[in-house]
Amino acid sequence: MSIQASSIRKTFGAFTALNGVDLNVSSGKLVALLGPSGSGKTTLLRIIAGLEFADEGSGQIRFHGTDVTRVPAGRRKVGFVFQHYALFRHMTIFENIAFGLKVRPRAERPARGKIAERVRFLLKLVQLEGLERRYPSQLSGGQRQRIALARALAVDPKVLLLDEPFGALDAKVRKDLRRWLRRFHDEIHLTTVFVTHDQEEALEIADEVVIMNQARVEQVGTPQEVYDRPASPFVYQFLGNVNVLRAQALANAGAHPGALESDGRVYVRPHDIEVVPHVPGSAGMIAVLRYIHAAGPQARLTLEQVQTRETVEVEIARSELTQLALKTGDIVNLRLRQGHSFADDYAI
Amino acid sequence: MASPVANTLSSLTGSTASPRATQDPAWVRWTLTGVALLFLTFFLALPLAAVFAEAFRRGVDAYFSSFADADAIASIRLTLLTALIAVPANLVFGIAAAWAIAKFDFRGKSVLITLIDLPFAVSPVISGLIYVLVFGLQGWWGAWLIEHDLKVIFAVPGIVLATTFVTFPFVARELIPLMQTQGSDEEFTAISLGANGWQTFWHVTVPNIKWGLLYGVILCNARAMGEFGAVSVVSGHIRGETNTMPLHVEILYNEYNFVGAFAVASLLAILAIVTLVLKALVEWRHAQTRGT
């Protein structure tokens, strides 16, 4: 089922959480709402779920064309998973998953045997068979998250909404679980929206990334699109590391390949800078190597421009570092493979 | 390397199995422990023992015969009746107030929290006087009440009202922090899974707060049965009619009927001990359910 949100506004007293936000999620997609804390992404998710309502007179929420703006959460057919799982702590795993079926009115409630069958099916789906009798506190974080997912799926939702689904997990489990979620999504093809502040997570598993900042949507696109062609300085800085260089300094050094833009700033990814040994008179920005961080797949160099004394971060292959035989204090030339500029009127 | 200095050092540090950073010399520890024990004996254990010693001074028969007195029975009955009304009233109110305060944001919330604490802040005698001012003969509604032949002050309704007021905060105070730390995510989940408000309350909220609730009720009950000041002001001390147990103890004592006074007092003391045991049990159970 597709989701459309149109010009949604939400204020909490004097604070504007959402300022005329539009969102379109096509059926069967896995979409990430990405943004820093306070950008309004969780509020948007809760409004889609019906746990929060948009301001009077602002836009609509539509599920597959049907207006659900005024429909209460329980009747929207939405599965919602909280960051801290919100498992019912006094119920067993079985009772947790069965809850949504057991609270139905008598006429719609499945028979006892049917409920048990469904719970076992869901436990199998999230690969946690045999945990029926346990309590939430006896499970690990990753297991709890999957139980929360199974519980949300029990009522056969048409849309799955996940609020920071991996936020409370440690780094290793996080990675495993997010890949698992991607495979899981490929299996069940349920329209899914998840909120995250971790750009790596969003870029890795989402079909489409919606980047939010200060109560607005900044950019929408596939992970590749938003990473390669950021629409604003904010997106550039939020998605991965970036150097902001003064175009004038680059032009003086003959290091900038493209035309100069009006605001005089050039955004360059650390891996788009080439390091060459310093030869007097050759093209390139002259810089002093201040620090080498080589504990990782790539070497990160921190350099200081001689002319402006500004810091530049560069990433090069480990083999290249060995080849250049660099050490701190060396003077090198920096050349840009590509950079990006924005017009003046963008505010960061 | 066994130099004399090293030997001395090792004998100093080796005297205890594993020294702790927070440990003081032995004489400090024993003095502090001794002072604490002495204090407990004089101010808590001795008075408690004295109550029972006085109650049984004339023997077991005299002790039990003081409960055969009609006025004593009436006072016990009135105390039970008062608690039976005040505790459930405050149970309902406490849950409602804690629910509103912990799960919703509204204007005047901090005023409500302060109001809930009011009965703890004012002297119980003042609490009683408030009701005399409102319902008494010279009070705001005094004339109206007389016209309709309703008695509040110097009657059972006044006692119940004063007791309810004084024991107002116990349940709410217990539940508010508990509900605040638990947040509303479980309730939101239940609602998004299709549960209605009633189902959410009974299946999700109540099981999560039941131990805190029981704890609040036990404390509330103990105070409701033991309240003296506020009840004393509104009761009028009519024997066999408006005397609760604490008031009855006072009357007997003033009449030099020490055995009777201490016998009724011993009942209150037993109630206190039972309350403490229950409270410990509930705390223990609560810790257990949290731990698993």
- Please tell me if residue B198 touches chain A, with a CB cutoff of 8 Å: no
Q: How far is CA A280 from CA A274, A283, A286, A333, in A?
A: 17, 9, 9, 9
**Predicted confidence (pLDDT) per residue in A157-211, tens digit:** 999 999 998 887 888 888 888 898 999 899 888 999 999 998 889 999 999 999 9
Q: What DSSP element (H or E) covers A118?
A: helix A112-125
User: Which residues contact residue A219 at a Cβ distance below 8 angstroms, ignoring those fewer than 6 apart?
Assistant: A209, A210, A211, A226, A230, A231, A232, A235
Kindly determine whether residue A78 and residue B188, on different chains, have CB atoms separated by under 8 Å. Answer: no
**Predicted confidence (pLDDT) per residue in B233-256, tens digit:** 888 888 888 889 999 999 999 998
Distance (Å, whole) CA A31 – CA A1:
13
Kindly determine whether residue B191 and residue A90, on different chains, have CB atoms separated by under 8 Å. Answer: no
Distance (Å, whole) CA B110 – CA A4:
39
The structure's pTM equals: 0.78
**Predicted confidence (pLDDT) per residue in A291-301, tens digit:** 999 888 889 99
Contact residues, chain A, for B205 at CB < 8 Å: none
- Per-residue model confidence (pLDDT) at position B85: 95
- Per-residue model confidence (pLDDT) at position B292: 43
Which of A99, A145, A159 should one mutate to test binding to chain B, selecting the residue with the greatest count of B CBs within 10 A?
A: A99
DSSP secondary structure code for residue A142 in this structure = H
HSE-up of A175 (CA within 13 Å, CB side)? 3
Which of A75, A89, A119, A139 should one mutate to test binding to chain B, selecting the residue with the greatest count of B CBs within 10 A?
A: A89
Q: What DSSP element (H or E) covers A117?
A: helix A112-125
Task: Name the phi and psi angles at B228, rounded to 5.
Answer: -115, -55
Of A17-21, B30-34, B145-149, which range is least confident?
B145-149
Write out the CATH class of domain B59-289: mainly alpha
Q: How far is B195 from chain A (nearest CA, A)?
A: 6
**Predicted confidence (pLDDT) per residue in A110-137, tens digit:** 999 999 999 999 999 888 988 989 999 9
Predicted confidence (pLDDT) at residue B17 exceeds the cutoff of 80 = no
Tell me the pairing of strands A3-12 and A15-25: antiparallel
Predicted confidence (pLDDT) at residue A346 exceeds the cutoff of 50 = no
**Predicted confidence (pLDDT) per residue in B62-82, tens digit:** 888 888 888 889 999 999 999
Predicted confidence (pLDDT) at residue B286 exceeds the cutoff of 80 = no
Beta-bridge partners for A12? A15
DSSP secondary structure code for residue B87 in this structure = H
- Per-residue model confidence (pLDDT) at position A345: 42
- Please tell me if residue B110 touches chain A, with a CB cutoff of 8 Å: no
How many pairs of residues across A and B have Cβ atoms under 8 Å apart?
A: 69
Distance (Å, whole) CA B104 – CA B96:
12
**Predicted confidence (pLDDT) per residue in B115-156, tens digit:** 999 998 999 899 889 888 888 877 788 778 888 888 888 888
Contact residues, chain A, for B191 at CB < 8 Å: 51, 72-74
Q: How would you list the strands of the sheet with A273-277, edge to edge? A: A273-277, A331-336, A285-293, A298-305, A311-317
Task: Work out the average pLDDT over B20-40.
Answer: 89
Which of B184, B189, B210, B289 should one mutate to test binding to chain A, selecting the residue with the greatest count of A CBs within 10 A?
A: B189
Which one-letter amino acid corresponds to residue A267?
Answer: Y
Give the residue ranges of DSSP H helices in A126-246: 141-153, 171-188, 199-205, 223-228, 233-238
Q: How far is A77 from chain B (nearest CA, A)?
A: 8
Here the tokens at position A197 are 């502040």
Predicted confidence (pLDDT) at residue A105 exceeds the cutoff of 50 = yes
* Three-class SS state of B49: helix
ipTM of the complex: 0.81
Kindly determine whether residue B186 and residue A88, on different chains, have CB atoms separated by under 8 Å. Answer: yes
- Per-residue model confidence (pLDDT) at position B22: 78
Tell me the pairing of strands A273-277 and A159-163: unpaired
**Predicted confidence (pLDDT) per residue in A36-53, tens digit:** 988 999 999 999 999 989
Contact residues, chain B, for A84 at CB < 8 Å: 185
Which residue in the set B189, B191, B292 is minimally distant from A82, CB to CB?
A: B189
Task: Work out the average pLDDT over A241-250.
Answer: 78
Contact residues, chain B, for A89 at CB < 8 Å: 186, 208
Q: How far is CA A255 from CA A276, A300, A313, A316, in A?
A: 12, 20, 16, 18
Which one-letter amino acid corresponds to residue A109?
Answer: R
Kindly determine whether residue A151 and residue B190, on different chains, have CB atoms separated by under 8 Å. Answer: no
Kindly determine whether residue B189 and residue A50, on different chains, have CB atoms separated by under 8 Å. Answer: no
- Per-residue model confidence (pLDDT) at position A255: 53
List chain B domain ranges. 24-55, 59-289
Predicted confidence (pLDDT) at residue A75 exceeds the cutoff of 50 = yes
- Per-residue model confidence (pLDDT) at position B81: 94
Which residue in the set A74, A84, A90 is minimally distant from B208, CB to CB?
A: A90
Task: Name the phi and psi angles at A107, rounded to 5.
Answer: -65, -30
Contact residues, chain A, for B199 at CB < 8 Å: 103
Predicted confidence (pLDDT) at residue A256 exceeds the cutoff of 70 = no
Kindly determine whether residue B203 and residue A78, on different chains, have CB atoms separated by under 8 Å. Answer: no
Give the residue ranges of DSSP H helices in chain B: 4-13, 26-40, 46-55, 60-65, 70-103, 109-121, 124-135, 142-147, 156-166, 169-182, 185-192, 197-200, 206-226, 229-235, 245-254, 258-291
HSE-up of A324 (CA within 13 Å, CB side)? 22
Distance (Å, whole) CA A135 – CA A137:
5
HSE-up of B48 (CA within 13 Å, CB side)? 12
Distance (Å, whole) CA A246 – CA B260:
95
Handedness of CA B154, B157, B160, B165 (dihedral sign): negative
Predicted confidence (pLDDT) at residue B16 exceeds the cutoff of 60 = no
